[in-house]
Chain A
Amino acid sequence: MLNYTIRRLLSVIPVMLVVSIIVFLLVHLTPGNPAFIILGEDASPEAIAQLEEQLGLNEPLYIQFFDWLKQVITGDLGTSVYSAQPVTELIFANFGPTFSLMVLSLLFILIISIPIAILIVSLRKTILDPLFTNVSLLGVSVPEFWLAILLVLAFGVTFPVFPVAGYMPLADGFGAWLYHLLLPAFVLALVEIGIIARMLRDSMLDSVNQDYTKTARAKGVRERDVLMKHVFANALIPTTTVLGATVAGLLGGTVIIETLFTIPGIGQLLIDSIHRRDYPVIQGVVLFIAAIYVLVNLVVDLLYAFLDPRIRYD
Chain B
Amino acid sequence: MMSKKRNMIALTIFLLIALATITANWWLPVSPTAMDANQRLLAPSGTHWFGTDDFGRDIFARVVVAARVSLAVGVIVAIIATVIGTLIGLISGYFRKTDFILMRIVDGFLAFPALLLALALVAALGGSITNIVIALTIAFFPVMSRVVRSAVLQINNAQYIEAARTTGTRDLVILLKYILPNVLSPIIVQSTFIFAKAILAEAALSFLGVGVNPSTPTWGNMLQESQIYITIAPWFSIFPGIAIVITVLSLNILGDGLRDAFDPHSLKRKRKRKPKQTAPAA
Do chains A and B directly touch (beta carbons under 8 Å) in the complex? Answer: yes
In the complex the two chains form, what is the Cα distance from A14 to B252 in whole Å? Answer: 34
Over the window 99-119 of chain A, the binary record of Cβ atoms lying under 8 Å from chain B Cβ atoms (1 yes, 0 no) is 000000000000000000000
Q: Which of A20-28, A42-50, A76-84 is the contact stretch?
A: A20-28
- Comparing B33-41, B43-51, B175-183, B226-234, the segment that makes contact with chain A is B226-234
Interface flags, A272-287, vs B, CB<8A=1, else 0:
0011000000100010
Return A34 CB to nearest CB of chain B, in Å. Answer: 9
Against A, the Cβ 8 Å flags (1 = close, 0 = not) of B219-244 are 00001000100110010011001001
A290 touches B123 (CB 8 A): no
Of A133, A137, A150, the most chain B CB neighbours within 10 A belong to: A137
A133-B3 Cα distance, complex, nearest whole Å: 10
Check B207 against A256 for contact (C-beta < 8 Å).
yes
The reply to whether A29 and B223 form a contact with Cβ atoms under 8 Å apart is: no
Set A138, A248, A259, A282: member contacting B245, Cβ < 8 A: A138
> From A127, which residue of chain B is reached at the shortest CB distance?
B2
Kindly list chain B residues whose C-beta atoms are within 8 Å of the C-beta of A157. 230-231
Of the candidates A19, A31, A134, the one whose C-beta lies within 8 Å of that of B6 is: A134
Q: Which of A22, A133, A138, A141 has the most CB of B within 10 A?
A: A141
Q: Are B227 and A149 in contact (CB under 8 A)?
A: yes
The bracket for how many chain B residues form the interface is 35 or more
Residues of A within 8 A of B253 (CB): 134, 137
Q: Say yes or no for B96: interface residue by CB 8 A criterion.
A: no
Chain A nearest CB from B84 CB (Å) reads 16
A130 contacts B230, C-beta separation under 8 Å: no
B110-129 Cβ-contact flags toward A at 8 Å (1 or 0): 01111111011101111000
Q: Mark A141-156, 1 if CB is under 8 A from B, else 0.
A: 1111110011011000
**In the bound complex, how far is the Cα of B22 from the Cα of A11, in angstroms?**
48
Do B230 and A149 have beta carbons less than 8 Å apart?
A: yes
Contacts known (A141-B245, A153-B231, A209-B271); A289 close to B107, Cβ less than 8 A: no
Residue A301, interface by CB 8 Å: no
A30 to B123, CA, bound (A): 8
Smallest distance from the beta carbon of B111 to chain A beta carbons, Å? 5
Whether the Cβ atoms of B208 and A255 lie closer than 8 Å is: yes
Q: Which residue of A lies closest to B134 (CB)?
A: A29
Report the minimal beta-carbon distance from B73 to chain A, rounded to whole angstroms.
14
Inter-chain contact B267/A206, CB cutoff 8 Å: yes
Q: Are B112 and A293 in contact (CB under 8 A)?
A: yes
Instruction: For the complex, give the distance between the alpha carbons of A19 and B210 in Å.
Output: 22
Q: Is the contact region of chain B dominated by helix, strand, or loop, or is it mixed?
A: helix
Contact between chains at B113 and A252 (CB < 8 Å): yes
User: Is A181 on the interface with B (CB-CB < 8 A)?
Assistant: no
B104 contacts A26, C-beta separation under 8 Å: no
* B window 25-81: CB within 8 A of A: none
* CB contact between B3 and one of A18, A130, A209, A274 (< 8 Å): that residue: A130
Flag if A141 contacts B104 (CB, 8 Å): no
Contact A251 B111 (CB under 8 A): no
In the complex, the answer to whether A150 meets B241 with C-beta atoms within 8 Å is: yes
Query: A18 touching B115 by the CB < 8 A rule?
Result: no
Q: How long is the Cα–Cα vector from A27 to B109 in the complex, in angstroms?
A: 16
- Chain B residues whose C-beta falls within 8 Å of the C-beta of A11 in the assembled complex: 107
Which of the segments B152-160, B161-169, B196-204 contacts the partner chain?
B196-204
Q: Which residue of B lies closest to A17 (CB)?
A: B108
Q: Is B187 an interface residue (CB 8 A)?
A: no
Are A256 and B124 neighbours in the complex by a CB distance under 8 Å?
no
| A149→B223 CA distance, assembly (Å) | 9
Residue contact A130 to B112, C-beta cutoff 8 Å: no
- Inside 8 A of B114's CB, which chain A residues have their CB? 248, 252
**CA distance in complex: A185, B105 (Å):** 33
Chain B residues closer than 8 Å to A228, beta-carbon distance: none
A248 touches B113 (CB 8 A): yes
Query: In the assembly, what is the distance between CA of A19 and CA of B113, in Å?
Result: 12
Q: Are A289 and B113 in contact (CB under 8 A)?
A: yes
| Cα separation A150 to B230 with both chains bound (whole Å) | 9
Q: List 15 A-B contacts (CB under 8 A).
A: A14-B107, A15-B104, A27-B124, A134-B6, A137-B253, A141-B248, A143-B248, A149-B223, A152-B230, A153-B231, A206-B270, A256-B204, A270-B116, A286-B112, A293-B112
Q: Top 10 closest A-B pairs, CB basis?
A: A18-B108, A252-B115, A252-B113, A146-B241, A141-B249, A141-B248, A248-B113, A274-B123, A14-B104, A29-B124
Given contacts A15-B108, A29-B124, A145-B207, 20 further A-B contacts (CB under 8 A): A14-B107, A18-B108, A18-B111, A19-B112, A23-B120, A133-B256, A137-B252, A137-B253, A142-B245, A143-B204, A146-B245, A149-B223, A149-B230, A150-B241, A157-B231, A252-B116, A256-B115, A274-B210, A282-B120, A293-B111
Instruction: List chain A positions with a Cβ less than 8 A from chain B.
Output: 11, 14-19, 21-23, 26-27, 29-31, 130, 133-134, 137-138, 140-146, 149-150, 152-153, 157, 202, 205-206, 209, 248-249, 251-253, 255-256, 259, 270-271, 274-275, 282, 286, 289-290, 293-294, 297
